[in-house]
Structure 1
Amino acid sequence: MTDRPRRWSADGKLAVVTGASSGIGQCLAKQLVRRGCRVIVVARREERLADLARENQFFEENLIALAGDLTEPQTRQRIVDAICEERGHVDLLVNNAGVGAIGAFETASPERLRDVMEVNFFAPTELTRSLLPLLKASGDGVICNISSVLGHCAVPDKSEYCASKFAMHGWTDSLRAELQSQGLTVTLVSPSTTRSEFFNVLIDSEGASSKSVGSWSPDRVAAATIRAIERRRREVILSLGGKALVYADRLFPGLMAWILKRR
């Protein structure tokens, strides 16, 4: 098997995109539809999904809106049922839904950690488990996990979020090794800060805020994600700032620890 297999095409395919009511997920859904893909869009905010489908007739005909909480088994089963009703297999799963939390670990509640891990890690892993037979049935299945540069390099005051993304990173690498001989592609996408509503829906912020320096637009992240999927990339780290953070931590861990300590 080569490092760069043939390109994947969205045309005529069926995809599931989670966290599709805004931000990266919404942009991904739109761009996939424009490439000829039918997309099951999943999010908790039903009215936002309905608004997305109503943007124009083309979207309305090619988006299947499914509102629900991915941490609940019933929602994951509804996704399975929707796929089976459509065509009996699915070609692309994008695990994008996520939440954040900002603030010191010491003063946070145990529930904050559990809530972040439930949404950012356990929900996508269990959804993937449910969809694996349907992805294998595609013959050209792709799993794309949207992680973060903070799944490579941890920073203060985001310990729960970093933990969830490190877990996503490790699980993705292991899953890729397990599935590569079974015709499935597994891609990890690690954006840095994105200009979206993400940090407007923090589980807990303790009055803190997230700084957005050199952030990318959701559309730009979505376009880069689709390029990574089409090229069957194993992993992509987006933005120069994101790459600088990750590689500085790998090459100069002592220096990075000193910098983060001074923050």
Structure 2
Amino acid sequence: MARRELKGLRAIVTGASGGIGRAVALELARAGVRCILFARRAERLDEVCQQAEQLGSKASVLVGDVTDAEARKACLEFAERELSGLDLLVNNAGISASGEFAGESSEVQRKIFEVNFFAAAEFTREAIPLLRQGRTPMIVNVGSILGHRGIPYTSAYCASKFAITGWSQSLRAELSTEGIDVLLVSPGTTESELADNLVEQRIKLPWSGMRGVTAEYVAEATVKAISRGGHEIVPNWRGWWMLFAHRLSPALVDSVMAKLARKANR
């Protein structure tokens, strides 16, 4: 994968109004990348835009829903018209829900997949023509450690992130022939707004109060990986150890997850 000079690159960051998306956008701005900030909350996007410009980089705000094909089209047209192209696409927007699978509605499951997987996949397909013309182009997919190891009571979220993992691996091989890199970011527990903005919360997860790394930590690791041309990062030591334990002894991790499930049901 290509190493890249970040200064002067052009990026779209989805879900840029808060959490990891906001932190990545500001870290890119600090490196001299001009970002299009794409999310639904206009006021929050304006705040991020001001912060990016205080860091010395120009930023633009586009308010829209990443699941809306017309909003995605408008975002790409803006990149082509105002930035004369695109070098980085950061697929970060994501949602979740908590509760047992048997009681979860198909509407909630489909909504999670629409945001977490299908929107990212469609946006990427639509962006590839612009990325082909970009300078050291890269697609950055923000997945999750839960895209490698599932946990109880977040089955739809885990499934959508497993989809992101497999898709990213396939995409990386396909696009390598065109010089477009693909980076998969698999954070563990992160202090972001995801847990505070659940589509549905039918159970209190016993580990929800666990202290995680900051969104800024994830963003710094992500931007470093973009610069060096990384394939995949796990910017959380607990997440890395969970993956290691799962590979070493899946049955042991299964038993731990079963205990957590029983604890959540008390």
TM-score of the pair, normalised by structure 2: 0.93
Match of 2:125 among 110, 125, 129: 129
Q: Give 1:20's aligned amino acid.
A: A
Distance 2:76 2:50 in 1: 24
Match of 1:95 among 76, 91, 97: 91
Q: Deviations over 1:159-182 (max 9, x none)?
A: 000000000000000000101111
For residue 77 of structure 2, what is the aligned residue in structure 1?
81
- Is the Cα–Cα contact under 8 Å of residues 13 and 38 in structure 2 kept in the other structure? yes
For residue 41 of structure 1, what is the aligned residue in structure 2?
37
Match of 2:231 among 219, 225, 234: 234
- Is the Cα–Cα contact under 8 Å of residues 26 and 52 in structure 2 kept in the other structure? no
For residue 159 of structure 1, what is the aligned residue in structure 2?
155
Asked if residue 173 in structure 1 is aligned to residue 169 in structure 2, the reply is yes
SS of structure 1 residue aligned to 2:190: coil
CA RMSD of aligned residues (A): 1.5
Distance 1:120 1:142 in 2: 19
Unpaired segments of 5 or more residues in structure 1? Answer: none
Match of 1:70 among 51, 61, 66: 66
Distance 1:21-1:60 versus aligned 2 partners, 3 A rule: farther
Shift of residue 55 of structure 1?
Answer: 3.8
- Does 81-90 or 238-247 show the bigger shift? 81-90
Match of 2:102 among 89, 100, 106: 106
- Is the Cα–Cα contact under 8 Å of residues 71 and 119 in structure 1 kept in the other structure? yes
Match of 2:12 among 4, 9, 16: 16
Distance 2:125 2:56 in 1: 29
Unpaired segments of 5 or more residues in structure 2? Answer: 261-266
SS of structure 1 residue aligned to 2:38: strand
Distance 2:90 2:120 in 1: 9
- Is the Cα–Cα contact under 8 Å of residues 52 and 59 in structure 1 kept in the other structure? no
Match of 2:216 among 197, 215, 219: 219
Shift of residue 208 of structure 1?
Answer: 1.9
- Is the Cα–Cα contact under 8 Å of residues 100 and 202 in structure 1 kept in the other structure? yes
Asked if residue 147 in structure 1 is aligned to residue 148 in structure 2, the reply is no
Q: Give 1:176's aligned amino acid.
A: R
Q: Give 1:168's aligned amino acid.
A: I
Asked if residue 259 in structure 1 is aligned to residue 260 in structure 2, the reply is no
- Is the Cα–Cα contact under 8 Å of residues 85 and 130 in structure 2 kept in the other structure? yes
Distance 1:201 1:140 in 2: 35
